[in-house]
Chains A and B, each alone.
Chain A
Amino acid sequence: MDPLHQFQINPILQIVIAGYDVSFTNSALFMAVAVALIYALLVFGMQGRALVPGRLQSLAEMFYEFVANMVRDNAGHDARPYFPFVFAIFMFVLIGNMIGMVPYTFTFTSHIIVTFTLAATVFVFVTVLALMKHGLHFFSFFMPHGAPIALAPILIPIEVISYLMRPVSLSIRLFANMMAGHTMLKVFAGFTVLMISGLGAIGFVAGLVPLLINIALTGFEFLVAFLQAYVFSILTCLYIRDALELH
């Protein structure tokens, strides 16, 4: 009945390395499943190397071209070498979200530590990229071009803070959306159960209402699952563009 029970991390295999508990958990299991699914889709899908693609190959090519267009349109042509990184981010988040839509699975993207680690990876990657490309000139990024020097004491802290907030907003957006949606589904399902157990025969009729809402919410959740993966990777693209072009 507890709608937060679905977020419980349950160890499957106890592992401790250097004093840290790194057990293989349900979360780790579905991360591995996501990686296997993505790799299988691309490898089995492209196995035929057909000129006219079949269903699976079409799907693989569609993902490839979708992300390739996203990188080209949002990060520019110079961002071509970072396409695999964006593709890995997009597919990992998307498949992670989609796996979460299957009952009895675990949504690893609903954990703040996972989304934050991903966002921090993007943040560190983008910052290192900018430093490598522009050296110390990178710090001019924090002083908006053409702004009066007198405003620098105000503008620079704001820009620095907004830059440092990127991984926070990136991770919280994904985590909050995934957790909220899944909790909502559980809460409404819980209402149905409560009504049936509490109201008896009337409950079976009244319980239909949250059930119908749940059906709509499930469709909505699929949209959110895709949209959040899209937002996450498109923001990654925009950050890469910032790193490459510094405005």
Chain B
Amino acid sequence: MPNLLAKGRLARWSGVAGASLATLTVLAGNVLAATAEHAPDAAHGGEHAGGLPQLNPATFPTQIFWLALTFITLYYLLSKKALPRVAEVLEERQERISRDLSKAASLKEEAEAVLAQVDKALAEARSEAQALIAKAAAEIDANNQARQAKLGADIAERLRSAEANIAAAKEQAIANVRGAAADIARDVAGRLAGVDVDAAQAEAAVAAVIEERRG
């Protein structure tokens, strides 16, 4: 109710202000009118000698008649023609706005659904790609390991055969050296001492010496 009270106060004060202003101005107006009447102004001297034109009852019927006529016309025109048209346009706009709003909301929903779908597809593709990469990496890894193992075995094999060759060559060389040494030893013994040492003896002596040196 404070709202209504405020409006009531506004109405009351404007009424009081208006009434007091009216009194003041009518007083001032009468003074002016009095001064004006001294001037030779015959145009409207006699017509409103009674003072305020508002208080002349002779003009009441015409004012009431024309007010009634114009106001009823206005009410008829407004209520039957003008106002329904305004209401229609405003309603149309309201409807249009709410329709557009709901349309926008549904479009937004749709767009969100599409976005979610895209997101899902993207995530799927990403995980798929990751799986593929992992698989490829594992394959490559396994391949490498196998090849490395094979290479290692190969190398080891070759190393072993090379070592065997070297060992055989060494044996051979040692045997050759032993034979040559026995021959030389027999020859030396024959020439120096005139002793004819048979081959087996010489060989055994050389072997004994070699064994002695080696040890």
Q: Which residues of A contact B (CB under 8 A)?
A: 1-5, 7-9, 11, 15, 17, 20-25, 27-28, 31-32, 34-35, 38-39, 42-43, 46, 49, 51, 57, 60-61, 64-65, 74, 83-85, 87-88, 91-92, 108, 110-114, 117-118, 121, 169, 172-173, 175-177, 179-181, 183-184, 186-187, 190, 194, 224, 227-228, 231, 234-235, 238
Contact = CB atoms under 8 A, between A and B. Distances in A.
A85 B56 CA distance: 29
A31 B67 contact: yes
Nearest to A175: B54
B53 A9 contact: yes
Given A4-B52, A25-B62, A31-B66, A42 B29 contact: no
Contacts of A181: 21
A159 to B, nearest CB: 16
Contact of B83 (A22, A42, A117): A42
Given A24-B66, A83-B83, A9 B73 contact: no
Given A25-B62, A173-B18, A1 B39 contact: yes
Interface string B123-154: 00000000000000000000000000000000
Contact of B15 (A20, A172, A179): A172
A104 to B, nearest CB: 16
A87 B74 CA distance: 10
B54 A110 contact: yes
B75 A190 contact: no
B63 A114 contact: yes
A238 B93 CA distance: 30
Most buried by A among B15, B18, B33, B88: B18
Given A46-B85, A231-B10, A231-B14, A114 B61 contact: no
Contacts of A1: 32-33, 35-36, 39, 41
Interface residues of B, number: 63
B48 interface: yes
B66 to A, nearest CB: 4
Question: Which secondary structure dominates where chain B touches chain A?
Answer: helix
B90 interface: yes
Contacts of B67: 31, 108, 114, 117-118
B64 interface: yes
Interface of B: 4, 7-8, 10-11, 14-15, 17-19, 21-22, 24-26, 28-29, 32-33, 35-36, 39, 41, 44, 47-48, 51-56, 58-68, 70-71, 73-75, 77-79, 81-83, 85-90, 92-93, 96
Contact of A173 (B11, B41, B70, B73): B11
Contacts of A175: 54
Given A43-B81, A238-B4, A183 B29 contact: yes
A176 B19 contact: yes
A222 to B, nearest CB: 15
A187 B63 contact: no
B82 A21 contact: no
Given A22-B61, A60-B86, A28 B74 contact: no
